[in-house]
Chain A
Amino acid sequence: MLRHAIFLILTLGLAVPLGAQQSQPKEERVGDGYLIQVLRPGAIPAIVAPEFVSREEGDKFMADREPVLGVFDGQVAKAYSLWHLDRHEVVNDATPALGPIAVTW
């Protein structure tokens, strides 16, 4: 998971040389790895009541080359903008065929 490795290196890297406004992230051994708390839970708020619009409506706020995560459950197709996911990390959604789903990237 290269992007997460980068996130880890950089948030820790930023904390050290720049004399961060926040304290050093806390580290805790869990299993055979380390759990590193960089932000408090909920600092990146998940979406819990997602609203959807049609493709035509979506064209008003989506760019064709905008990256998305798409899911198709056999009946319903849904797209989630990755730029939007950036800000929330998780969208708690549901589809008729799949039931409750967590859209995360």
Chain B
Amino acid sequence: MGAYLIRRLLLMVVTLFGMSVLIFVMLRLVPGNITDIIFDSAGFVNPAAKKKIERQLGLDQPIVTQYVSWISGLARGDLGYAYVSEKPAIEEILPRIPVTAKLAVLALIFSVLFGVPLGVMSAVRQNTALDYVLRVVSLSGLSLPSFWLGLLILMAFVHWFGWIPIYKSNTGSFWHDLALLSIPAAAVGFRSSALVMRLTRSSMLEVMRQDYIRTARAKGASEPAVNYDHALRNAVLPVVTIIGIEAAFLIGGLIVTETVFNIPGVARFLVEAIRWRDYPIVQNLVMFIAIVVVVTNFIVDMLYVVLDPRIKYEE
């Protein structure tokens, strides 16, 4: 186990290093940086002024020098300065994280709360009308773009209540915050709950065919005891994986949802920074997302050992 852990941690470092190179090169793949965008919109280009800004931002340096200065800064906890706001990047990124994190947690709770019980129900009543309805609903969850679902929710609010639930920071009330955030969270979480439901269903069906389930029935265990104590406990492992992966990948859905609901989180901020080619923000945010994904994957793999004692990592 110890050797495995060290190997895993080393691989995580390799992955993150690779990601830093990839994102750095990709952003600089196409000629044109923030100075071009600024001067394009101004309509008049004074080459000297442009050069001066490029020099200030360090964009005239060779690409390797730029990379080294970014990474060595990162190692010291210095993320550099945002191009657009000229504030330290860390001051731009950090305050935006809690909102996105709250949204992600709520969406995840939503997906587990609906996905797991409905998946079990669908599996227990396989091929009944209920199963068909649930399957079609879950499939539609995978088909609706989450930004459109968000827009539909906004539309429903306008239609029935005459107002739009706009996020305000610092309403002061925890419950008010929760209510406002749970609407966009549901828009994102619908997709994940559909995924969780489908996986729970198939995993349950797989387990319910096993001999030990027949044994449990034969010894006279009640139907709920068979379904929950015997089947669900064994079926939950793949579900944990998908929940873990979804947790990290929710950021994709959050990008569009934060845009629709006008929420000042990191996901929407990333898109704005990409548009402006605000390198310090994009690079650091992408690294942040990659770290979240890699660490989540690691936690999920470790959870496996806890949930299923048969699994041992050795090499």
Q: Do A and B come from one complex?
A: no
Interface positions of B (Cβ within 8 A of A): none
